[in-house]
Structure 1
Amino acid sequence: MTGFTAFAAKEQSYPHVLDRETGAWVSLESFLGRGDYGDVIADKRVALKMALHDGRLRYVCPWCGNAMFLASLRLQDKTIERFYFKHQFENTACSGIVGKGDEAICAQQFMGAKEGEEHKRFKARVLESLNADRDFSDTALEKRHVSADRKRWRQPDVQSTWKGQQVVFEAQMSTTFLHVITQRMSFYAHEGVRLLWLFRDLNPNHFRLTEDDIFYSNNRNGFRVTDETVGLSRATGRFALECVWLVPTVVGERIEDQWQTQTVFFDELRHDTSQHGVPRSFYFDYDKAKAEAESAVRRQKQERRDRPLRDAMESFCLDLWAHRLPTPEAVHERWDPLVVEFARRGFALPDAPLAEEGPNNYLQAAYSAKHGRSVWSRHEDLVKLGFHIFDVRKKTLWIYRLMLEAYGRHEHMKTHDPNRKWAGKAVEYKGFMRNNNAAYLPSRAFDPLLCFLFPEVADTLVKHPRDVLPPERTRV
């Protein structure tokens, strides 16, 4: 009969056994695996029976606690779907799942998991960690937490008080149903109690669906307590946990989640409620990082879309001011398409690039600061250009200043201002701006266009200078 895969029988009264070592319910399909029929006989059926003979009682009935073994339908039935779980002894009244609903099955799974040896070790680790941290008090195991109205209660694995705030710790059992998880979340949220789920295994590749339910709803953070973290808790006097979380990382123009693991302390966690009402305890704020990553991707996409048009405007302006467009026809051959394209983006440009009502003066100041030289006059450096702007084009001082800062022209200005005359002018014009002197304030009509052309200063450009400039120093 070897050479083919063994399968579970179609009709089963005992589709699971309870693993006393882990506290988990093991399905018949999982127990059989995808092994060869002969392997199942030798490594599962016979080995399990031998273990029972030797008094090693690991797999038992989830309903009555009696020993189970792997039985088989008669070989003459000529079917490969032959294996099923059966009580070791027939003198039991246990009927398995027959006549039991989903609620009863779920409750039995949950309680069975709590009785496992691994679950007991989990509680012992948490208790030892809490006892090592002086900020925790009134710690208790398996004690009922009764609601304020005395009508409901839950019995968490471990509960304690941290700096006056009640906290409960629950082991995330692989058998826990989603509605059990959400019921506990809802109960503790209404009671103002912090809930921290602790995992058995933080290997994301091993997460089951209900573990995903907790991990992803907890701001993509998962925690567990190990022998190593217990030792660290004792050494530091702070409750230590192993933490795994996802980091949203921008790769090109998309976001990829990357796993990160680190030992953290309970006092480093943040606790809140998601926008959907789910209570969360987390070390890394995934939602905030995801929003920032999405914003960065949007900026990248926008930059890719806008950069050619920005470059076209800059190239035109530099050629125009350098007199590389010798005739009016050459000017309009470059300018008119720009007028059309900018209009499609919602920006109205004048018919002529040097029109008095247009943005020419602002562009000259901005591009000069960007390129580190005057791009439209014969001024030798940016300081001399600054004096000219101060005297003749006061309204462009704001963008000139912002672009000087954006492109790090501080040393240039300092080097070319040995007598600090420009520094004095800067104090003067900043005072006028703070005092709302209209002669020194920019025309807001050009803000949208300038923000598009110079996104590096857009956030500050639209603000009033007095809200950006540092307070005026008191002279002694």
Structure 2
Amino acid sequence: MVGNTTVDPLAWASAVIKPEIDEVRNTRTGHVFDVRRLIRAFRYERAILLRQKLKALVKRDEARLVCATCSVPVYVACSTTKQFFFRHRHEDGSCPAITRAQLSEADIRAMKYRGAQESEAHKRVKALLLRSLSIDPRFSDVAPEKTWKASEGLAGLRRPDVSARTDTHRLAFEVQLSTTFMDVVLSRKEFYRTEGAALVWVLPYFHPSYRRMTDDDILFGNNSNVFVVDERTAAASEAAGTFIMTCWYRKPVIQGDEIIDEWVERMVRWDEVMVDVDRQANIVFDYAQEAARLREELKAARLERIAAAKDAARQAQEERENELREQVLRFLLNVSSNDGDLPRYKTWLVLNDSLRFIGYGFDGDNPDLQTATRIVHLIESARAGKPVGFRYKSLAELGHHLIHQHPELLLAFGYMLRKFGTRDALYSDDRTGKLRVKLEAIRSDLSRDPKYRMAADEERFCAFLSGGASRKSRPENDNPDNSSRAAA
């Protein structure tokens, strides 16, 4: 166990410090990727799955990534310290990047496994597996080392450690004691998939804190489930009369604002195992599905917090604006003979600066206090249905005044009368009908003549203080004639 490197599945993958291949190119898009940056973009578990996927594509001559220097297909390899790098599918000396040893994988495999396949440890686990399966009447054709020939005339054969059948599946059990090349894992999975059988990897022991590379390949390739058969499970199988294994699996849980893993170890009956021949996955717990659900839950909670924060910020902004609106209205309506012009104007400058900060103040260094006061008086007159701050007895008289002295305020006045529900007071005060005649005469000009337009900053000021009442309603019909009708 000395020297083993075990990485948290959710930790970010790490690359070797000086990779031989430093850039790879996507064959579909042509994009070139820096290898170290690309590898570090994956969580460790995803890097393992990427490693398996790219190797499988290379084996089928469907490579997605190639060396940016020589265009030879590449796949992800892993060092003994579980740092990732890219390796050529083959090397002929034409590329300066050297990623392969002189010995082939077949040579290394022959040296490594010579005499080891049938070690005493391997025989012991196989015997335990046979005992456990044979006690369960749901399994038939239980046999060790039975040769499987590829069907439909395809080349190849396999001899699983133990094979068996159930009413629904043909099963091949492989006992895994030593490290195995990725080629072996992928080739076996593909063979049994083609045969319509399920490959079940069995380990003699497992612990999440000590995982070999082969353990990770089996674990992550099996949706983070791994099975153990030992003396304890064999005894449990014989006691229960049914096939029992120990299953280790990752269980994602939410901690704060992130997902972390809990490792679960429990004995399981075979009928708890979900078999997926197409994916060559045999699982007790669907880690991928649960992790996806929790990610959506976190996303929903995050969006809910963002929405709540936005609502709180909007509400706070509205409260600040309402407070400023009331402050400005009180100031401009509270005209007293005791007010000195200079102190009052200084107060107005401060208020206008606050309005400008949120986009509603007058432009320029010397905002006109008289204009601001007139606009506020107009707003309150429309709201009250009678003149406020003007020396007129009726809205009709005020209307005559606006037509002749302040035509730029006429449209805003009309909109506010309509919004505040005081429009009828305008015509009830027009006993002679002269105001109506004047309004009819200028109706066609209200929407076209510039003299009936307020300055942009004054219009914004009026709209803010009136709560938008001084502007044309939306989604009211956008016909320009509505502007003149509103003023009438």
TM-score by length of 2: 0.43
TM-score by length of 1: 0.44
